[in-house]
């Protein structure tokens, strides 16, 4: 069975407020599933989203 995070847990991981996470979920910015009135974020999908939405530092050309 897949592991799921609550919006509160996602907020802690991303260091943002729970309101921001819920806004992102409603907007479809981050992956999530609504079960009744409760949002749940699949761990595997959050990891994929983080990987594809994280900016990597560009190598400097300083010599």
* pLDDT class of 63 with cuts at 50, 70, 90: low
Residue with tokens 């309101």: 19
pTM for the predicted model, two decimal places = 0.81
Q: How many alpha carbons lie under 13 Å from residue 28 in its C-beta half-sphere? A: 0
Note the pLDDT of residue 62. 60
Do 9 and 42 contact (CB within 8 A), yes or no? no
Cα(46)–Cα(31) distance, integer angstroms = 7
- Contacts of 48 by beta carbon, 8 Å cutoff, 6+ apart: 31
Question: Tens digit of pLDDT for each residue in 2-61?
Answer: 899 999 999 999 999 999 999 999 999 999 999 999 999 999 999 999 999 887 777 777
Note the pLDDT of residue 53. 86
């Amino acid at each position: 069975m897949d592991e799921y995070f609550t919006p509160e847990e996602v907020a802690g991981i991303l260091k943002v407020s729970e309101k921001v996470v819920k806004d992102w979920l409603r907007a479809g910015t981050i992956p999530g599933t609504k079960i009744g009135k409760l949002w749940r974020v699949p761990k595997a999908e959050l990891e994929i989203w983080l990987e594809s939405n994280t900016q990597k530092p560009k190598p400097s050309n300083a010599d």
